[in-house]
Amino acid sequence: MSVTLDEPAVRPSTSPAQRIRAEMAAVRLSVSWFGVRKALTDQQRKRAAVAFDAQSHCLSAGKRLLDTKHPAYKGLTAIRGRAIGYWRGVTVPFPEPGMRLIRQGTIETFDLQMAEFRAELNEAVQVLETRYDDLKDLAQQQLGSLFNAADYPLHLQGLFVIEWDYPAVEAPSYLRQLNPALYEQECARVASRFDEAVRLTEAAFIDEFTKLVDHLTERLSGDNDGQPKVFRDSAVGNLVQFFDRFRNLNIRSNDQLDELVEQVQDIVQGRSPQQLRDNGTLRQSVAAQLTEVQNALDDLLVDRPRRNILRRPRIGE
């Protein structure tokens, strides 16, 4: 599902941290999942150690309770992956575990989409429930004496859950009257969190953009035994998706990065993967232009504050 985020009005006098603090909200994603792996008991681990003539305290061993490759179970993990991917795709980092920042204007759309994921997950759990007895029987055959019926709950409903909420990250207002000094301390802590969020967001965009440009440049440059290298449509498609996300979530903290993204967008705009495969001259031209962007990204990586990043090797070096 694609999401269009409106560009907020920005006052030039505000900093990136102040902008995201005013325009974004925290969103926390929590996933509860029935653990399909269980550690062996001390007695079972001792028996396993005998087979290897080893000491049991030096071994770490476990058993798999359900076949995770079964289609019914894979259906659950697929939904979980899509939900997490969507959450990450419409948000930017925040330095608190499990929390990210989302544009306030997209919360309603996000909430509806997550509700759809939750409904899909509940349906998938019902499907798994219909195969639960078969999966337990299979586990009993595969685990032998390691099988323990007590490891398996009677039902699976409620054991696979996706939840989300929008926690407050600002200092609680009641502290202002209760303890002004503590309130100021909390305000300073929150401000530092948003400063760090800016750094994390910029770093994430630079790293993702660099990898995408590197990959496409590598596919377009050189050859294999005299033939152009093969590349998938996704080499271009992933860049196009990045442009959309960058436009929607860009916090405008780095003018050079903005210019490089716009430059690459101009380079690939209107040029399909098939055109790049069929037209050798176009392919070489695009590769040369992307190499220039790589050089600029190298400089951007080295100049990035608070990070000591070595220069990436060039293709063919």
Q: CA–CA separation, 160 vs 124, rounded Å?
A: 10
Q: What is the DSSP string of 152-170?
A: S-S--TTSEEEEEE----S
User: If pLDDT is split at 50, 70 and 90, which confidence band does 227 have?
Assistant: confident
User: If pLDDT is split at 50, 70 and 90, which confidence band does 280 have?
Assistant: confident
Q: CA–CA separation, 293 vs 260, rounded Å?
A: 7
167-185 pLDDT tens trace? 999 999 999 999 999 999 9
Average pLDDT, the chain: 88
Paired with 31 in beta bridges are 162
State the pLDDT at residue 57: 77
In this structure, are residues 90 and 247 in contact, taking their beta carbons and an 8 Å threshold?
Answer: no
316: left (phi over 0), alpha (psi -120 to 50) or beta: left
Task: Give the Cβ contact number of residue 102 at 10 Å.
Answer: 22
Displacement of CA 173 from its chain's centroid (Å): 33
User: If pLDDT is split at 50, 70 and 90, which confidence band does 225 have?
Assistant: low
pLDDT (mean) for 295-303? 81
pLDDT at position 288 over 50:
yes
User: If pLDDT is split at 50, 70 and 90, which confidence band does 60 have?
Assistant: confident
User: If pLDDT is split at 50, 70 and 90, which confidence band does 299 have?
Assistant: confident
State the pLDDT at residue 46: 83
CA end-to-end span of the chain: 40
pLDDT at position 11 over 60:
no
3-state class of 178 per DSSP?
Answer: helix
In this structure, are residues 96 and 193 in contact, taking their beta carbons and an 8 Å threshold?
Answer: yes
User: If pLDDT is split at 50, 70 and 90, which confidence band does 304 have?
Assistant: low
State the pLDDT at residue 228: 79
3-state class of 146 per DSSP?
Answer: helix
pLDDT at position 85 over 90:
yes
| H or E segment and range at residue 258 | helix 255-268
State the pLDDT at residue 146: 92
Q: CA–CA separation, 231 vs 220, rounded Å?
A: 8
Displacement of CA 17 from its chain's centroid (Å): 22
pLDDT at position 296 over 80:
yes
pTM, entire model: 0.83
More confident residue, 82 or 221: 82
pLDDT at position 306 over 70:
no
231-261 pLDDT tens trace? 889 999 999 999 999 999 998 899 999 999 9
pLDDT at position 191 over 80:
yes
pLDDT at position 210 over 50:
yes
State the pLDDT at residue 303: 63
User: If pLDDT is split at 50, 70 and 90, which confidence band does 224 have?
Assistant: low
3-state class of 81 per DSSP?
Answer: helix
